[in-house]
Structure 1
């Protein structure tokens, strides 16, 4: 049962980072710019973030397995369309929109089913460890696998690879049984879904507009903030009226969960921001091809894989708070090394130590953060909290690519690279400070 769930998380995380090594190939083939490819990557992550909460909510109404299979199908169609795309607009439709929508439908069931199928602490921790390891390795290995496929065949073949993995997951999913029946009587808050998605889209688009028009950036950020404020007012009014909103405000009354969500956001911001910044710098500034860039990222992949595989043993010996703190410390150290060594050395292997440390840090803390959040709520709230958790994580991914990418693309140089990495270090430091506020022994774990 765990294999298709872990594979699903792997391929969705892979999709978020594998395009980073195809920037030159895609921009030349589709006659677009680095910024155009950045927009495609960011929109994919943003669609996931914006629709993850509604996707989690739909699992209660239509069933977790059904949403999982529908999401896989939509994703597969998007991957095939991306492979055939003749221009950037079609690539955005296939990769950014359809794959993003498919991911938003299939990822919440992964975490809900894991929580429901693995009921005791030990087995659940092991299952989450496998899934988060698959996600971390997918994101870290995306540049390597994508680079190998692009160099051997073409960037289009990377999307064919995704479609084939999706087909395998669909076949393997036949063994999964949904522990809870679907409830068609559950209402769906359409207005809440629209408001939450619109608010998140406006904020990320505001960040992307920073290098073009400062006033447009401010206008979009303010508009996004106002729409999200409207969303909060709406769900509160729905609760007061005795109706079921898209997202219950009770989810935010758990202090431990709130802190865990912030650390998740910072972790994925760091992971995807580092992947995009380093990959873009290697290709555009230093002129490396896809396979050279992917091979350099092997260090990050090995780091994530090693620490993820050790996550279960570490969880038995150390509190989850300690692991999250240690992960941020290692990741911040890795960023410092990436800035210091790269600035003083022309060798591509100067990136390896920093990527390894960052990968080790991320692998250590990804699973504990998910456990902290998911285990803080009963089974009845797993649909909502799973959608919220994945939305916050993918929003972090969007922020990472948007913020670091905007700083880098505005002035592709060594100094812009250092500035983008420094911005990621600040986000990681905020995550570290948040992690120190987690209780040493959370109640429901």
Structure 2
């Protein structure tokens, strides 16, 4: 009698490896450019602010298109969109590697890689949920995916620094394309648990309004160092467009049509709080990454490899707690883990600022970065599982897109807010101001986490209350 269990396990393992690697490379892309600031600006004859804009636009494109990406996933199938997203991403990576100027780099990295990520990330979370039916295996799978995602963001500066110093910053984009090729190969036996639904419609009006609104808000933040009135005008315009978006959603729901985003997703109290904590976690991670990397290179004149080595401290801290996600989840509630994560991260930021002011050596950054990594690693997985487990399978496409949108919006906010403070005056004072701003936001995240239900585990009764 033929044993079909082993091949099935192998396909399952390959599928999880592909999904986790996809999350890794997308997170890596958001942070590895931080250590290339000097190299890119000199090679492409641009400025630190030009590189900051490229990084922020990449994160913003992901955020703006993540919810539509989830809708497209439902319509055309999860695996099909996953592969299509990988292909678009690879083209963007290769175009970035050959970029003759900042404009082409933004087209390849910020636009094409951003669009590819928006197509492939929703399937990562939907497939992880659907391929792992029981709570234990699902928690383990999300732990792997989130660990690789956090590792990509935290290790991006180190890997990017090594490649930039040994070869060129352009080789870092070739590396991304090679990883995409590996992911496609691992995905060859992946099965889509649910058939595509061609009857699902895409809310084009909602897509345009939401994307324009988010772009205006983030652009307003980036304009802060140029003109206060321009910043306020862009922020007000963004708020107005987003208000029109939600008005459009209500009108479509009232008429029985399918909007881009159902307002019912915001009526789950636990999920709402989980989304807030996700946003702030990635804001802290990407804001810290850009601010510290820019400060080390521009103010202290570190090269790419030395900057990347400093960030190894955050990588190790994040790895330690991320890979312990399953054990931590079995002993502590999501509320406890997320609150502890924010408390440790804020303490790390305060220590980072204090020691950088007191000492001139690179070692002064290590203790603070270790604490930030430990804190973020402890809470990334609980926040995601709280949100995903608060909704039934038929809503996984929508909530996955919203979840990734919120996280990537946090990343773009982090780079925009902290980076704008820093590039407005690259001094020790600007650095401390940027980091203290992140710490204050982290305290807000701690306050939000305190409102999560006590003692409940994802998927247990009480994990998803209605507001």
* Residue pair 1:256, 1:442 contacting (<8 A) in 2 also: no
Structure 1 SS opposite 2:193 = coil
Match of 2:459 in 1: 444
- Aligned counterpart, 2:329: 315
Offset, 1:346:
0.2
> Tell me, what secondary structure is at the counterpart of 1:242?
coil
Work out whether 1:294 is the aligned partner of 2:300. Answer: no
Deviations 1:394-439 (A, max 9, x none): 0000000000000000000000000000110011111100000000
Q: Is the 8 A contact 1:81 1:91 kept in 2?
A: yes
Q: Deviations over 1:136-180 (max 9, x none)?
A: 000000000000000000000000000000011011111210000
CA RMSD of aligned residues (A): 0.7
**Deviation string for 1:301-340 (max 9, x for gaps)?**
0011111011110100111110001100110000010000
Equivalent position SS for 2:84:
helix
- Name the structure 2 match of 1:90: 104
Q: Is residue 345 from structure 1 mapped to residue 359 from structure 2 by the alignment?
A: yes
Cα deviation, 1:342-369, whole Å, max 9, x if unaligned, reads 0000001100000000000000000000
State the 1:442 CA deviation: 5.9
**1:54 maps to 2:68:** yes
Equivalent position of 2:196 in the other structure? 182
Contact 1:341/1:351, CA 8 A, preserved across alignment: yes
1:412 is paired with a residue whose SS is: coil
Residue 433 of structure 1 is aligned with which of 444, 447, 455? 447
In the alignment, is the contact (CA less than 8 A) between 2:209 and 2:242 conserved in 1?
A: yes
Q: Deviations over 1:215-236 (max 9, x none)?
A: 1111100000000000000011
Specify which of 99, 102, 107 is matched with residue 113 of structure 2.
99
Mapped pair 1:123 → 2:137: yes
Tell me how far 1:300 sits from its aligned partner. 0.4
CA displacement, residues 271-310 of structure 1 (integer Å, 9 cap, x when unaligned) = 0000000000000000000000000000000011111011
Q: What's the secondary structure of 2:46's corresponding residue?
A: coil
Aligned residues: 445
**C-alpha contact 2:158 2:308 (8 A) present in aligned 1:** yes
Given that 1:76 and 1:163 are in contact with CA atoms closer than 8 Å, whether structure 2 keeps it comes out as: yes
1:190 and 1:169 map into 2 onto residues whose CA distance is 31
Partner of 2:36, secondary structure, is helix
Find the counterpart in structure 1 of residue 10 from structure 2.
Answer: none
Aligned pairs for 1:348-427 (under 5 A) are 348-427=362-441
Determine the structure 2 residue equivalent to 1:109: 123
Equivalent pair of 2:385/2:458 in contact (CA under 8 Å): no
Q: Distance in 2 between matches of 1:214 and 1:325?
A: 34
Quote the Cα distance in structure 2 between the aligned partners of 1:197 and 1:388: 13
Contact map agreement 1:407 1:419 (CA 8 A) in 2: yes
- Residues 1:214 and 2:214 aligned together: no
- CA distance in 2 between counterparts of 1:114 and 1:442 reads 18
**Aligned residue in 2 for 1:280:** 294
| SS of match in other structure, 1:188 | coil
Shift of 1:444: 3.1
Counterparts of residues 159-198 of structure 1 (less than 5 Å): 159-198=173-212
Q: Is the 8 A contact 2:81 2:120 kept in 1?
A: yes
In structure 2, the partner of 1:204 is 218
TM-score, length-scaled by structure 1:
0.99
Cα deviation, 1:253-287, whole Å, max 9, x if unaligned, reads 00000000000000000000000000000000000
**What residue number does 2:95 align with?**
81
Contact 1:205 1:220 in 2 (8 A): yes
Q: CA deviation at 1:443?
A: 7.2
Aligned partner of 1:135 in structure 2 is: 149
Match for residue 28 of structure 2?
Answer: 14
Where does the alignment leave 5 or more consecutive residues of structure 2 unmatched?
1-14, 461-467
Residue number among 205, 224, 247 corresponding to 2:238 in the alignment: 224
Whole-Å separation in 2 of the counterparts to 1:197 and 1:442: 34
